[in-house]
Chains A and B, each alone.
Chain A
Amino acid sequence: MKNRICRKFLASALALTLVGSMLAGCGNKPAENVNNTESSTTEANTSTEEANTAQTDNASDKEEPAAPEADTSAEEVTLKIATWDATTIATTAPLIEAFEAAHPNIKVELIDIASADYTQKLTVMLNGGNDLDVVWIKDADTTPSIAARGQLEDLTPYIERDGIDLDAYNGVASRLNIGGKQVALPISTGFYLLYYNKDIFDEANVPYPSNDMTWAEFEELAAKVTSGEGNDKKYGALLHTWQACVQNWGVQDGEHTILDTDYTFFKPYYEMALRMQDAGTIMDFSTLKTGNIHYSSPFQQGQVAMMPMGTWFMATMISKINAGECSVNWGIATLPHADNLEAGYTVGSTTPLGINANSSNKEAAWEFIKFACGEEGAKIYSENGDIPAMKDDSILAVIAGLDGMPEGAAEALVTKNIALDRPLDEKSAEVNQMLGEEHSLIMIGELSIDDGLAEMAERSKEIQGK
């Protein structure tokens, strides 16, 4: 008996080592290619000097950027670009079309993925060694992780060669400079606004929300415009189920971030949200959550008077109204702010574009990024109601003047400071996941605010090893 078990064990151990050694080969291959990059990023953490030398080393290694452009324009190239919800996002199709028209030798093969699965699939593709060309990053805070794996090409040589002015990105581009490498360029930078339904305000005889409002005033206003019962109830506001729709107001000042380990700065906003929920001036969290109710639905059906939401929702509203599928008379105002802040302080997030280090068409991929993140792309974005990362007053004027945009949009779109909702850090995603878990517990009343915030702090420390 013992003998048999022994033999079985030996046999399985043998099989394991055999397979293991086979696979070790597999796993190591990509490592060899990127070993260089990996070591240079680790060094960057300890000493910037070393990082700089590593970077120049790297730059001199690469010959492609120096190659004359005439070479690349002659051959036919197919660019593989991954993106999400291409059919719903109003800017994607026109952007690709315009790019193909401007570069007849480059054909774009768009890989369209449902937004909920995008980050997961992108990771699998990159880690699996897929030869995707342009990396379109949906959650900007995943950029450092992707860069740390050495999957993003350093764009610095391309930027220097083509003389791209990074100042045009209002400070966002420098955030994508990780360990001395410009790993991506921002294509769009959305931020939070206050959307409102003019008809509900008119009916209640209450003046529209102003562009300079505190959160306390927002709460009061919501109470004033709440009316009705049951199916016909009009809610004063909608705070969507994302933790962002409460916690963002805590990081709006640009000083606190979700990577802090003391979350008492969320407290006033949780108190506000729960007060409003109890008073029935916002829709109930569990109803929204369990019903998987998308924020656009109650707003477009005229059930809510106000909704803090990102600028990306403008394009949706315009297209819905132009298609005759929604008849809400909407307006936008600057996001409400804390007492000690000026109007124009808001929260936002950026969408970066980078080149896959494993791409075989890096030159063409760069052409796409240059186009999409440059003036042409900015024009297309603004014409379709989205905010490009490269924005100035003329771009905002284009957006405000679009068919279907409400009056006074230009003033509402003015920003003083855009704080990133999630810092570009490798731990952001994990901390954010945790914050989301605790958020739902507070909002359904299973945890008191203080207990919830204390638990957040404790878990944040565990995750960040602080």
Chain B
Amino acid sequence: MQAKSKKQISLSRRNTLVGISFILPNFIGFFIFVLIPVIFSLALSVTEWDGFNAMKFVGFDNFVAIFKDRVFKGSIGKTAYFSIFTVFFSMCASLGLAVLLNQKLKGKAIFRCAIFFPYVASNVAVAVVWNFLFRDIGPINNFLRSIGIANPPGWTASTDWVIPALIIVNIWKNMGYFMIVYLAALQDIPSSLYEAAQIDGANSLQRFKSITLPMLTPSTFFVVMMLTINSFKVFDLVYLMTEGGPGTASTMMSQYIYNQAFISWSYGRSSAAAMVLFLIVAALTAFQFRMEKKWVSYM
């Protein structure tokens, strides 16, 4: 080491040290309290473990077992179905709301608060309320009947409608938060850009397409990533609203993971399912990061 040019080492070393010093305070806690348990639990997927005694290495047995399980196979499709719609519509809703509420209107703060409000409500309360609203003789179906729909959907009591119902509640709950993310980004767009475009004669749609959307790409990247990850691992709301039912109609992957660990006491299979979920999300994330350079424009 000492043989090398001192200057060169000290420079790259200093850079590394500075970088690490920024990361360290968070990383120490993250490493001990999150990363170690995470790696440990993923490693469980190749073992048979009852949660307490010695683990037994079983290779890919757990993966074979879960891919034979109809509930697990079904849960992958359901999770994908739920996620695709949730991601797309939540993004549209939050972007639309952010654009609407970014205008110079009096009282917009009140509207922002109102839209944001569902986000702060606890899931326990939200589940109770929406289950009630979705009842066959509840307000939603009564309204649908009054506008002439004779056979309104069965929502959470129907295997076909339970996931759409969950998608609606999920969008309703989270759009306020992503709206704020978009609002923050919208306000960072220099107004000079719009002024210049206006002088060039661009109409508002053109301005939106050529200035707003490109300038929002870093936020969109974040929003899409978070929505994807969150909807793939959605648990609380589904658990509280339907417990994965009726039947297994809304049993998504995280619910399956939970059931395997806490009903069947099979940590191995639970971890194997988690590993599959993890690989799917990791693949999607890696794909999005790869695409990041193509469509996200950082200033």
- Interface contact B36-A429, CB-CB below 8 Å: no
- Interface contact A286-B159, CB-CB below 8 Å: no
Query: What mask results when residues 427 to 466 of chain A are scored 1 for a CB within 8 Å of chain B, else 0?
Result: 0011001001110110010110000000000010010000
- Interface contact B39-A19, CB-CB below 8 Å: yes
Contacts A437-B245, A440-B245, A444-B157 given; indicate if A23 touches B43 (C-beta within 8 A): yes
- Interface contact A127-B69, CB-CB below 8 Å: no
Distance between Cα atoms of A23 and B244 in the complex (Å): 33
B53, B245, B248, B263: the one within 8 Å of A31 (CB):
B53
B16 neighbours in A (Cβ, 8 Å): none
User: Chain A: which residue is nearest B258 at the CB level?
Assistant: A120
A148 interface residue (CB < 8 Å to B): yes
A23, A28, A31, A286: the one within 8 Å of B36 (CB):
A23
A80 interface residue (CB < 8 Å to B): no
The A contact surface, by secondary structure, is helix
B40, B245, B247, B263: the one within 8 Å of A430 (CB):
B263
- Interface contact A440-B246, CB-CB below 8 Å: yes
User: Chain A: which residue is nearest B47 at the CB level?
Assistant: A27
B54, B155, B246: the one within 8 Å of A441 (CB):
B246
- Interface contact B53-A19, CB-CB below 8 Å: no
CB of B16, distance to nearest CB on chain A (Å): 15
- Interface contact B36-A446, CB-CB below 8 Å: no
- Interface contact A20-B39, CB-CB below 8 Å: yes
- Interface contact B36-A444, CB-CB below 8 Å: no
B53, B128, B263: the one within 8 Å of A34 (CB):
B53
- Interface contact B264-A287, CB-CB below 8 Å: no
- Interface contact A119-B262, CB-CB below 8 Å: yes
A30 interface residue (CB < 8 Å to B): yes
The A-contacting residues of B in range 50-79, CB under 8 angstroms, are 50-55, 68-70
Distance between Cα atoms of A290 and B39 in the complex (Å): 38
B154 interface residue (CB < 8 Å to A): yes
B36 neighbours in A (Cβ, 8 Å): 19, 22-23
A34 neighbours in B (Cβ, 8 Å): 52-53
User: Chain A: which residue is nearest B157 at the CB level?
Assistant: A286
- Interface contact A291-B69, CB-CB below 8 Å: no
Can you identify 20 A-B contacts, CB atoms within 8 angstroms? A20-B43, A27-B49, A27-B54, A35-B53, A127-B51, A150-B52, A151-B52, A286-B135, A286-B154, A287-B137, A289-B245, A290-B134, A290-B135, A292-B128, A292-B131, A437-B247, A441-B159, A441-B247, A444-B158, A444-B246
- Can you list the 7 inter-chain pairs with the closest CB atoms, starting with the nearest? A286-B157, A31-B54, A441-B247, A127-B51, A149-B52, A440-B246, A430-B264
B interface residues with partner A (beta carbon < 8 Å): 35-36, 39-40, 43, 49-55, 68-70, 128, 131-132, 134-137, 154-159, 244-248, 251, 259, 262-265
